[in-house]
Structure 1
Amino acid sequence: MDTLLKAEIRSDRVTKSDLKQMRDHGKVPAVVYGKKVPSTPIVIDEKQLAAVLRRNPHSIIEMDIPEVGKHPVMISGMQRDSIQRHLLHIDFHQINMDEPVRTTVALEFTGESPAQKEGGVLTAVLHEVEVRCLPNHLPTAIAVDISGLQLGESFLAKDLRLPPEIELKTDENAVLATILVPQKASEEAEAMAEEANADNAGKAVEPAAETADQS
């Protein structure tokens, strides 16, 4: 954990005007909770938080909480303004380093397929997968080597080379990327994107607190 966020305690009885004033002063209202941390309303510096989100929104963060101390946490939920996408509220879940967590990890596409040199178009269908592992084993990204894909072939989730300590929770038959024939690339890419969106539609965002002990 090389990321430290300093929290400030705030009142749990605030008005919309109070919340707006916090945001106007560069503070993001938040809450942190967990087995070792009672549900605590806090505020986080917006610039510090933005830096964390740019690096890796699924990383483990060390949070310094007044009167509670330093604890490892993960982001379990975010609320953004629908128009300008400003952060309105964020939830942090205090985790235990000796207990598995279930979260998503970004995919990093590497290599070049021979089919691309023939005009094939690489289409990334998914940009992250869900995994379960101990916090210390959580990678910042998972490599997807597409150098072996031929024209029309796909890279499936089960093709990922994961270490034994990381369990894949995404459907193993989910398509991560495919090499499309040029004239069909636009049409098929759109169809795959729609299918992926349909699969994710209606799925609730599960806080890490509720999923940490699921297998």
Structure 2
Amino acid sequence: MDNLVLVAKERKEAGKAVAKKLRNVGRLPAVMYNSKGEAVMLDVDEGEFTKLWKIATPTTLLTLDVEGKKSLVFIKDTEYDIKTDKNLHVDFHVIDESKKLKRPIKVQVTGNPVGVREGGVFESGIKEIQIECLPKDLPVRLVVDASDLTLGSEMFVKDIKLPKGVKVLSDNDAMVACVRTMQ
């Protein structure tokens, strides 16, 4: 998912009527917030945004091209209409590439544990952890292999092999996965 780019246009008008007009022509109202909380009103192509939104995770970085000026952003929030299956509004947050980020990241457990093949029961623990790193080091998810878990063994956050530059902020003793004996 490297280098996802979304083109945006700056807009001056706000309000429900303006938002409705934009949506009627396939544009999605948006706001881009900088680190100082200042907002710039934008609109983006609804179809292009939806394509990106469907593959984005909370750690996906996008390049937002606003009339030639490019910014690295996260999708901060979306307003979604379940009846029409469409996004109604999106907020972007600009990232400073030189500053570390604190973000939640999914932990994906893979493998068929030895202990399960020996009759044990697999239990998963936490599904995500909080990490800190520079934007360039931000992983999409952490994949951990539970194949070596034996009966009665556990895997903790401290056992996860992290990519270079990534620091865990969550409890290192939180359980990620274990294999329990049948009772």
TM-score (norm 1): 0.70
TM-superposed CA distance for 1:157, in Å, is: 1.6
- Cα contact 2:137–2:164 (8 A) shared by 1: no
Using the alignment, how far apart are the partners of 2:80 and 2:174 within structure 1? 28
State the match for 1:197 in structure 2: none
> C-alpha deviations, 1:56-79, integer Å up to 9, x for none?
32211111012x601111122233
> C-alpha deviations, 1:132-181, integer Å up to 9, x for none?
10011111221212122223433222221114511112222222233345
Is the counterpart of residue 63 in structure 1 residue 60 in structure 2?
Answer: no
State the match for 2:4 in structure 1: 3
> C-alpha deviations, 1:81-107, integer Å up to 9, x for none?
366764332221111111111112222
Call closer, same or farther: CA 1:154–1:11 in 2, change over 3 Å.
farther
Bigger shift: 86-95 or 37-46? 37-46
* Amino acid paired to 2:73: V
Measured on the aligned residues, the alpha-carbon RMSD in Å equals 2.8
Using the alignment, how far apart are the partners of 2:108 and 2:26 within structure 1? 32
Bigger shift: 126-135 or 169-178? 169-178
Using the alignment, how far apart are the partners of 1:180 and 1:19 within structure 2? 54
Q: Decide which structure has greater helix share.
A: 1
* Amino acid paired to 2:6: L
Using the alignment, how far apart are the partners of 1:97 and 1:11 within structure 2? 28
Call closer, same or farther: CA 1:104–1:12 in 2, change over 3 Å.
farther
Call closer, same or farther: CA 1:63–1:151 in 2, change over 3 Å.
same
Using the alignment, how far apart are the partners of 1:20 and 1:153 within structure 2? 56
Using the alignment, how far apart are the partners of 1:30 and 1:169 within structure 2? 31
Structure 2: gaps (5+ residues): none
* Amino acid paired to 1:7: A
State the match for 2:106 in structure 1: 106
Using the alignment, how far apart are the partners of 1:26 and 1:52 within structure 2? 15
Is the counterpart of residue 132 in structure 1 residue 141 in structure 2?
Answer: no
Bigger shift: 97-106 or 113-122? 113-122
- Cα contact 1:56–1:140 (8 A) shared by 2: no
> C-alpha deviations, 1:34-73, integer Å up to 9, x for none?
149951111222332233233332211111012x601111
Call closer, same or farther: CA 1:11–1:152 in 2, change over 3 Å.
farther
- Matched-pair identity in %: 28
Is the counterpart of residue 51 in structure 1 residue 48 in structure 2?
Answer: no
Using the alignment, how far apart are the partners of 1:84 and 1:122 within structure 2? 39
Is the counterpart of residue 167 in structure 1 residue 167 in structure 2?
Answer: yes
TM-score (norm 2): 0.80
Is the counterpart of residue 117 in structure 1 residue 149 in structure 2?
Answer: no
Write the mapping of 1:181-200 to structure 2, written as runs, cut at 5 A: 181=181
